[in-house]
Structure 1
Amino acid sequence: MQLRKSERKKAKIKMALQGSAGAGKSFSALLLAQGLTDNNLDKVAVIDTENGSADLYAHLGNYNVLTLKPPYTPESYIKAIQVCEDAEMEVIIIDSVTQCWEELLDFHSKLAGNSFTNWAKVTPRQKMFVDKILQADAHVIATIRTKQDYVLNQINGKYVPEKVGLKAVQRDGLDYEFTLVFDVDIKHFASSSKDRTGLFMGAPDFIISAETGKEILEWCNSGAEVDGSISTTLGLSQSTSVSEESVKGKIAYTNNIQELILLYKEYPEHQEALRADFEIRKSFLNNLSNPQNFSSNGHTN
């Protein structure tokens, strides 16, 4: 073991664009790629799961398309990313990653036996897919579909569903794995819901352009050169495990005790440091699952 001074290395951006159908995620991703490659779209590959939507913007330039067909397994995505890396693509657009999660949910629903223990057959496959994105030696832009999300609120003694905005159709907490996440609305305006670059934090809503990609590229190249063959993403080397901060964020997004237990087992290296966070979330989920723990004004007893 040896202490060293902190130093931000040159990075390959790993970012996500979240939005509903028609928000312009595919087009925005290509504009970002245009900026990230200094208008050289020959070095851009689109992994297309959206029925050929990637070809709709061919007027932008001569980018490459790799079409995935069902079933959209994590293994298919991993293979597609590897094909793009082998072709030395500088930017890989995955449009979209939602189908991968839907495929895993379908796989889980068809498994015989205990639903809870069956997640042990799903989580490792999802983790391999996410790790492949994070470790890719290229800029990666993933698009994610969103849908209307609801919560149950108690009104006059009854639980009533209430709209609370849009939710990404992917595993909860996936956004914590990315350096930068843009939420794109139906009018094509973007805002950053997560930004480790600091470029867009607190900025007013804007429309994504190639200039946005150039800003991100300048940030990526502003660090020191990476030693050896290890590339850096999220400010960490590939050999470094998922950060404590990332796991802490995932804890907050667990929906039930089963998910919380799986998350606890998935990251043994953080179990001790985050024990209090796990216990607090466990208590909250236990209260949430028992209506008797709620008073008529919606507060826990």
Structure 2
Amino acid sequence: MKLHIAQRNQVKLRLGLSGASGFGKTYSALILAYGITEDWSKIAIIDTENGSASLYSHLGGYNVLTLNEPYTPERYIQAIETCELSNIEVIIIDSISHEWNGKGGCLEIHESLGGKFSDWAKVSPRHQTFIDKILNSSCHIVTTVRRKIDYSMETDMSGKSKVIKHGTKEVTREGFEYELTANFELINDKHLVKASKDRTGLFMDFPEFIISTQTGKKLIEWCNSGISIKDVKLEIKQAESLEDLKNIYEKYPSLKKSTHPLIMERKEEIENINSQILSIEEIVQPLKTETNGISNKQ
């Protein structure tokens, strides 16, 4: 165990958008994604919502991957990997609710195993692998989540009563939002959102607002303000000695997991170079000795 100074690295965003049906999750996710990348061709949406992703094709030329049932964790993972291999920068998963409560999702898998509490020992690891894939993806990821719907009667300024739709509990495993960089809850069909969780500090305790491209720009600026792993990789590549590598490894403790394989690769390169230099010296040294001997005789 060793104490070190806290450092914030550049990170990939993990954003959540939740709300009742019709509150604008898909549209808001697309606008948010464009604010992050400013390139529609670098956005992919994994669509589980019966083609709803294509309803906004007028916005720009983003990519769509249609995911039909069964909505197993493994098929979601495969869809994410397909996007990663296509050099996508922002992946929108619309929505993750099906992985939990859809046809072939975790609740149905659990029921098919017998529905006993002990059966979660087989289901939970599969769900966690899906969550880990989101957290460890090389892309920025925006997830949408359905909320169960409730209704209430409210009176407007003119005294007329009307039925208001509300989103209540998120349809996914409890605790998912704690894994996210920020989670936005759409509170009505006017696309108004509030931040229910915000590690960036940019939106927490702010009044309700409508997501715009500026929201995405603020998030990516925050994201890029830390230590760049790209810069650290360059520093490792330029290291000329084992001491240099040791100093780099200790300099960025929060990146040790990412840099360790690169450090070991560069260590092997340096050792090979040193070995070659030593071999050359072993050949050259006798020649130097012989040359010096001849010179002394003369």
| 1:5-38 C-alpha deviation (Å, 9 max, x unpaired) | 111011111010010000100000000011000x
Q: Distance in 2 between matches of 1:238 and 1:78?
A: 26
Q: Secondary structure at the match of 1:143?
A: strand
Q: How does 1:55-204 map to 2 (within 5 A)?
A: 55-102=54-101, 103-112=105-114, 115-148=116-149, 166-186=168-188, 187-204=190-207
Aligned Cα root-mean-square deviation (Å): 2.2
4+ long deviations beyond 6 Å: none
Q: Which residue of 1 aligns with 2:268?
A: none
With over 3 angstroms needed to count, the CA separation of the structure-2 counterparts of 1:107 and 1:212, relative to structure 1, is: same
Contact 1:19–1:184 (8 Å) recurs in 2: yes
Contact 1:94–1:141 (8 Å) recurs in 2: yes
Q: Secondary structure at the match of 1:122?
A: helix
Q: Secondary structure at the match of 2:68?
A: coil
Identity of aligned residues (%): 50
Name the structure with the higher helix share.
2
Q: Which residue of 2 aligns with 1:224?
A: 227
With over 3 angstroms needed to count, the CA separation of the structure-2 counterparts of 1:238 and 1:146, relative to structure 1, is: farther
How many residue pairs match? The answer is: 220
Quick check: 1:8 aligned with 2:11? no
| 1:102-155 C-alpha deviation (Å, 9 max, x unpaired) | 11101111213x701100011001100000000001110000000047xxxxxx
With over 3 angstroms needed to count, the CA separation of the structure-2 counterparts of 1:238 and 1:65, relative to structure 1, is: farther
TM-aligned CA deviation for residue 88 of structure 1: 1.2
| 1:201-230 C-alpha deviation (Å, 9 max, x unpaired) | 11100000111101101100111112349x
Matched residue type, 1:135: N
Matched residue type, 2:24: G
Q: With structure 1 as the length reference, what TM-score do the two structures score?
A: 0.69
Contact 2:147–2:167 (8 Å) recurs in 1: no
With over 3 angstroms needed to count, the CA separation of the structure-2 counterparts of 1:237 and 1:94, relative to structure 1, is: farther
Q: Which residue of 1 aligns with 2:287?
A: none
With over 3 angstroms needed to count, the CA separation of the structure-2 counterparts of 1:45 and 1:143, relative to structure 1, is: same
TM-aligned CA deviation for residue 174 of structure 1: 0.8
TM-aligned CA deviation for residue 239 of structure 1: 4.9
Matched residue type, 1:141: V
Matched residue type, 1:44: I
Matched residue type, 1:104: C
TM-aligned CA deviation for residue 165 of structure 1: 6.5
With over 3 angstroms needed to count, the CA separation of the structure-2 counterparts of 1:239 and 1:23, relative to structure 1, is: farther
Matched residue type, 1:105: L
Q: Distance in 1 between matches of 2:168 and 2:111?
A: 24
Q: Distance in 2 between matches of 1:238 and 1:53?
A: 41
Gaps in structure 2 of 5+ consecutive residues: 151-165, 235-253, 259-298
Q: Which residue of 2 aligns with 1:36?
A: 36
Q: Secondary structure at the match of 2:206?
A: coil
Contact 1:135–1:238 (8 Å) recurs in 2: no
With over 3 angstroms needed to count, the CA separation of the structure-2 counterparts of 1:84 and 1:215, relative to structure 1, is: same
TM-aligned CA deviation for residue 2 of structure 1: 4.2
Contact 1:47–1:93 (8 Å) recurs in 2: yes
Q: Secondary structure at the match of 2:132?
A: helix
Q: Secondary structure at the match of 1:105?
A: helix
Q: Secondary structure at the match of 2:207?
A: coil
TM-aligned CA deviation for residue 69 of structure 1: 1.0
Gaps in structure 1 of 5+ consecutive residues: 150-163, 230-235, 241-301
Matched residue type, 1:86: L
| 1:209-268 C-alpha deviation (Å, 9 max, x unpaired) | 111101101100111112349xxxxxx76959xxxxxxxxxxxxxxxxxxxxxxxxxxxx
With over 3 angstroms needed to count, the CA separation of the structure-2 counterparts of 1:12 and 1:100, relative to structure 1, is: same
Q: Distance in 1 between matches of 2:60 and 2:129?
A: 32
